[in-house]
Amino acid sequence: MGICMAAAATALSLSSCGNKKAHENPFLKPYETIYEIPPFEDILIEDYIPAFDAGIAEAKASIDSIVNNPEAPTFANTILPLDNLSPTLERVMGVLMSLTEAHSSAELTEVSENLLPRYTAFNDELMMNQGLFNRVKALYDSRDSLGLAHDETRALEETYRQFARNGALLTPEKQEQLKAVNSRLTDLYLKFNKNLLASNNAFEIVVENEADLAGIPASTVANAAEEAKSRGKEGKWVFTLHAPSRLPVLQYADNRDLREQMWKGYTSNAQTGDNDNRPVIADIVKTRAEKAAIMGYPDFASYMTADVMAKTPQAAEELLMSIWKPAKAKVAMEVAEMQALSDKLGNDFKIAPWDYYYFAEKVRQDKYALDENEIRPYFAVDSVTKGIFSMAEKLYGITFEPIADAPKYHPDVKVYDVKDSEGKHLAVFMTDYFTRASKRQGAWMEELKTSWINPDGTADRPIVYNVGNFSKPTADAPSLLTIDEVQTMFHEFGHGLHGMLSRARLKSQSGTSVDRDFVEFPSQFHEHWAFQPELLKEYAHHYQTGELIPDSLVQKINAASKHNMGFMTAELVGAALLDLNWGHLNPEGDIDVMAFENSVAEKLGMPEQLTFRYRSPYFKHIFGDEGYASGYYTYLWAEVLDADGFEMFAEKGVFDPECAARMKTVLESGSSEDPMVLYENFRGHRPEAAALLRQRGLTD
């Protein structure tokens, strides 16, 4: 966390000279910055723990005031205060969790290892507070006679479910067992993430012979040269496991040995030495099974799916298997095409996993005359940013204005004032798109502050951010995105819109606070606009000439949109099924992590040319925390919704005002309404799974 440490050094220097007043902990009062953006430059590493302590004390005082209230429980004196126990704790945990993922350091990791177990313990104490639960239960039992508004009833029911799912109905003995299990899991998640980040950063492939770089895009080669220079290896090229480095090697490198080295390095990530995540996973799986048993469920997958749209792991598996079979058949067709092309080129080898990306690209060029290196100059990061903003304005009437001198946690971050159709402030939106060692892999959306409506009718608006891991600009060119990276930007921006547009009254129902198998619907839905000709005219301009992307290229992009979809679907479905299989496991003895993973692949009949999208030791979605544990299937569950929903836009027009207004209602509602009700009101019928197969080209 270089900014904070630098700020600390500056503060100490000024303090010693007597030129500045003593440092004030920024977390301990509302931020005095524009729109209450955290004042990152003023936050010192030593501010976190005292602020956390103060926040916990503040929260406990709020809990005591609810429990000891002599008045009978009401929604106003019990549920509403639970929505806002401690602004101090929200401030410090919001920044800590954000920077731990996006801009970490050894010092911040140490703080996280101190505070996250304590935060887990506090949440356990909250959820098992019998006096508090008694008030919630009294309201829940009489909810039909309270005359509550619909969103209030949903909030009450969800609060009761959360207490029940977190142990409030357990005996005191079982509660103590659950606390111990949760504490152990928190420690294991921290260890998994720490190992993964260290393993990612430790791996490198050093290339000394320029001839070995044949086929790799010039921008990737330039970044590899800069990476080598930063590691004291000037004159060489260094490739890493970060996607902007890894994927171009697999997709374009003519050197087969280099592709194999990269593929094996990635698929064996976090499996050696001090960073080996296999024993961590074994402990996580055992501990999760113990948690499920304490909670009265047959396995962890059943526990995790019980209160979302799927309801059971079997429902999720049924959907996944209906996709797996046609995807697997499509893979066989794709491999046959690649093998035929490889043979035609005079190669004498059988297509292996490290050849898949490479020959899929060769087939795409052969079938569609589509060369991604020809496309990328039209998709500089700033251009695509213009595209997502233009989409939002056309669909929802919102605009984005840069905020000069806004606080930011890293120089790469850009900050925008989001305004509604009347020019009123709607949200703060921040972007952080480039890869660095202090950032975990992947792309995501998160909030530093959510939104809600105050009792006096005034609104607190959110602070939303998107994070990516795209190639850094070089001295000669901006960051140029691949087709997949363009879709990633639209995907995460879809999550961002869910947060920015929220009009839910209650903080707990705001934005993306929805069922896990509904949360990916808005993100995947907005991917559809990335390559719509009407929108491309707004943003896809060549970074050097300013030329609009030619219609011929747009036609090629859309013609090839279903290319390689068997591979992409099978590795995704495979990972989702692997996740659920881990959730079903109730181990009695030792666990051989890779043997179990291989047994799942064998059971599925996984094609030998591919593997799971994420192998277990680096499957952060399911082992880095519980956010997507036994829930990775939600991407495909939500794709049923987005595929079916977009067919309405495809029929009526991609910027049809009536369709857009319906979707805006979904985004504004958060979880103030049941997700299936929201979907049916939007689409006019329940989602149809066949749309997903049509969208992915897996059926006629």
> How many residues comprise the chain?
700
Which residues lie closer than 8 Å to 467 by C-beta, 6 or more apart?
Answer: 101, 102, 432, 433, 439, 443, 444, 445, 446, 492
Cα separation, 129 vs 699, in Å, equals: 53
CA distances from 465 to 98, 420, 626, 673 (A): 10, 18, 21, 25
The Cβ-side half-sphere exposure at 634, using a 13 Å CA radius, reads: 23
Q: β-pairing, 444-449 with 237-239? A: unpaired
Q: Name beta bridge partners: 444.
A: 467
DSSP string, 397-408: --EEEE-TT---
CB 498 within 8 A of CB 658: no
Count CB-CB contacts under 10 A for residue 338. 22
Q: Name beta bridge partners: 238.
A: 206
Cα separation, 154 vs 285, in Å, equals: 32
Which residue matches tokens 């995907």? Answer: 491
First and final C-alpha spacing in the chain: 52
Residue type, 86: S
Secondary structure (H, E, C), 267-305: HCCCCCHHHCCHHHHHHHHHHHHHHHHHCCCCCHHHHHH
What are the phi and psi torsion angles at 414 (to 5°)?
A: -120, 145
Q: β-pairing, 452-453 with 459-460? A: antiparallel
Is 658 tagged catalytic? no
Which residues lie closer than 8 Å to 43 by C-beta, 6 or more apart?
Answer: 4, 7, 26, 27, 95
Count CB-CB contacts under 10 A for residue 105. 18
Cα separation, 355 vs 656, in Å, equals: 42
The pair of structure tokens assigned to 309 is 């749209």
Residue type, 283: D
Which residues lie closer than 8 Å to 244 by C-beta, 6 or more apart?
Answer: 220, 223, 435, 469, 470, 471, 485
CB 544 within 8 A of CB 260: no
Cα separation, 442 vs 445, in Å, equals: 11
Residues 361, 367, 371: CA angle, nearest 5 degrees: 45
Cα separation, 45 vs 30, in Å, equals: 19
CB 315 within 8 A of CB 332: no
Output b/e per residue, 217-228; b: 16+ Cβ within 10 A.
bebbbbbbbbbb
Which residue matches tokens 């970490």? Answer: 104
Burial group, residue 153, by CB count within 10 angstroms (0-12, 13-18, 19+): middle
Cα separation, 241 vs 263, in Å, equals: 9
DSSP letter for 617, please: G
Angle between helices 172-202 and 106-127 (to 10 degrees): 160
Cα separation, 378 vs 8, in Å, equals: 42
Which of 492, 520, 571, 626 is an active site residue? 492
Residue type, 50: P
Q: Could you tell me the sign of the dihedral formed by the alpha carbons of 71, 74, 80, 84, in that order?
A: positive
Closest C-alpha among 281, 279, 266 to residue 200:
266
SS3 state of residue 184: helix
Positions marked catalytic: 492
